[in-house]
Amino acid sequence: MTKPEDKFKKIIAHCKEYGFIFPSSEIYDGLSAVYDYGHNGAELKNNIKDYWWKSMVQYHENIVGLDAAIFMHPSVWKASGHVDAFNDPLIDNKDSKKRYRADVLIEDHVAKLEEKIEKEVTKAAKRFGDSFDEQMFRETNPRIQANRKKIDDINKRFVAALEADRLDDVKALIEELEIVCPVSGSRNWTDVRQFNLMFSSQMGSTGEGASLIYLRPETAQGIFVNYLNVQKTGRKKLPFGIAQIGKAFRNEIVARQFIFRMREFEQMEMQFFVKPGQEKEWYEYWKEERMRWHLALGIPESQFRIHEHEKLAHYANAAVDIEFNFSFGFREIEGIHSRTDFDLAAHQKHSGKKLQYFDPETNESYVPYVVETSIGLDRMFLAIVSHAYKEETLEDGSERVVMNIPPTLAPIKIAVLPLMKKDGLPEKGREIFDTLKYDFHCQYEDKDAIGRRYRRQDAIGTPYCITVDHQTLEDNTVTIRERDSMQQDRIPVEKISSIVADRIRLRP
């Protein structure tokens, strides 16, 4: 069986070979943690955006879209807390000279303890068979209890240290847990320091009084500062939401794992404005709704995990991560946060402008509370390709790499392939392609043997191949080949469009 890290390497290589993702500025040896999306990648990314946008804006009457600028007034970032508190605690290993996020070192240590617990449970389940009572076992097994206590103690201590800004205690915890540098294997650590993740630049020339400007580290603030504009011009009543897709920038300390952690990335965020007191109810609603969105793509539930936050961000009163089982373990793909009135109240204070809602039912004015759903587009992309990549040995002993991308997201929906490059088959193929191209993103290909063309389409995840043969010229029928089962059926040309549309339609 392929090891997860080997599979991950293969996925990265496959993404490059088939035009999904290239390292940025590759001819100059690339730029750390920055990537470009190729012809197939750009299509897949657009399809993910489209699926998200439609699910949010088109299918919810009370959610509207927004496209705010990346540059914002510098006071925005003071009000939001990013200037003072958008920091990661960093620590260096003196021997390897490698830099780490202190919180990630501790979280990885906790994840190892969690793994031990899960191994214990799996072993016991095998031993006891049908009579196994998992809950009872978890509650009474002494080794599990001991590890659970260790995890709780670490989490409590870590949260307390961060909340009190006691970075020396974070370092002490790393030392006590005997965490070693994965590269040098040593415990020779520097002190822990805070590092602000925002990129900054100057706007305007110095002559005319340049001002410090930031590249936005999240799209959410563009929504908050436009809350009143949208509410008034859209004549929106609470509860309502504003959705936005856009670039965000973070000077990540440790940028690893391909497109999982980038310095320039894209977010799909929705801020849902509610009456104070109703935020918990809406938080639960969006938690469920977002899980449904993920599962509608056909990825099994076992690949997702819900992680409730121990340490809440300065703006939240409840927060949860939806985690996906990437090749390197379960990691955050989306955050759902109950942000209270923190942001709107802060902008109201810093700008001196009222950001209140007049409630016609109660005749009161108040600052709404906010529930946020925030998903990384690139992480979603990585989840899709990681899950889709399969190496298969077929019945005849040959091998194929197939990308089981959910058909609705696939870069190319239909490949039109004349069986041979003669006898009028290419002309008929072109004719079919020219009618289908208005409904679907299609590709026409007539080079190489048909088997090789099928493999190329499998490798980019094209769900349907239409093959034009001599019979097509006689009775206007073609074969339609389905990517995953490789089953082929004969259908009339005029039915291709409706059959494919039916099969790729998705309702979250």
- The residues of the shown chain that bind ligand ATP, judged by CB under 6 A, are 218, 250, 252, 261-262, 265, 267, 332-335, 374-376, 378-379
Alpha-carbon distance 71 to 21, whole Å? 27
Pick between residue 313 and residue 420 the one whose CB is nearest to ligand ATP: 313
Of 247, 227, 248, the C-alpha closest to 238 is 227
Q: Which residues contact 140 (CB under 8 A, 6 or more apart)?
A: none
Nearest to 161 by CA among 112, 106, 114: 106
Q: Is residue 276 reached through a cis peptide bond, with omega within 30 degrees of 0 on the bond before it?
A: no
| Minimum CB distance to ligand ATP smaller for 269 or for 341 | 269
Angle of helix 39-53 relative to helix 377-388, nearest 10 degrees, comes to: 110
Please, what is the minimum distance in Å from the beta carbon of residue 450 to ligand ATP?
Answer: 40
Helix (H, G, I), strand (E, B) or coil at 192: coil
Q: Which is nearer to ligand ATP, 380 or 442 (CB)?
A: 380
Comparing every residue's Cβ against ligand ATP, the nearest one is 376
Q: How far is the CB of 479 from ligand ATP (least distance, A)?
A: 41
When the beta carbons of 101 and 157 are compared against ligand ATP, the nearer one is: 101
Report the nearest approach of ligand ATP to the CB of residue 449 (Å): 40
Closest C-alpha to 220, from 323, 322, 82: 82
Tell me how far CA of residue 476 lies from CA of 110, 384, 503, in angstroms: 62, 36, 21
- What count of other Cβ atoms lies within 10 Å of the Cβ of residue 350? 14
Q: State the nearest-atom distance from the C-beta of 240 to ligand ATP, in Å.
A: 21
Instruction: Tokens for 430, please give them.
Output: 């072109």
Q: How far is the CB of 239 from ligand ATP (least distance, A)?
A: 21
Reading the block at residue 344, the tokens are 């709107």
Q: How far is the CB of 432 from ligand ATP (least distance, A)?
A: 40
Pairing of strands 329-340, 318-326: antiparallel
Find the shortest distance in angstroms from Cβ 249 to ligand ATP: 9
How large is the greatest C-alpha to C-alpha distance in the chain, in angstroms?
Answer: 81
- Secondary structure of residue 373 in the 3-state scheme: strand
Nearer to ligand ATP, 335 or 411 (CB): 335
In the DSSP assignment, the letter for residue 422 is S
Tokens of 49: 């955006």
Query: Phi, psi (5° rounding) for residue 20?
Result: -90, -50
Q: What is the C-alpha separation between 460 and 480, in angstroms, rounded?
A: 17
Q: Which is nearer to ligand ATP, 76 or 425 (CB)?
A: 76
The two three-digit tokens of residue 252, written as one number: 């990540």
Smallest separation, CB 323 to ligand ATP (Å): 9
Judged by beta carbon, residue 72 or residue 420, the one nearer ligand ATP is 72
Q: Which is nearer to ligand ATP, 225 or 336 (CB)?
A: 336
**Which CB, 262 or 436, lies closer to ligand ATP?**
262
Report, in Å, the least distance between residue 389 CB and ligand ATP. Answer: 20
CA dihedral 180, 183, 186, 191 (to 10 degrees): -70
The tokens describing 45, both together, are 């990314």
Nearer of residues 261 and 481 to ligand ATP, judged by Cβ: 261
State in angstroms the smallest separation of the CB of 344 from ligand ATP. 18
Beta bridge pairs of residue 323: 305, 332
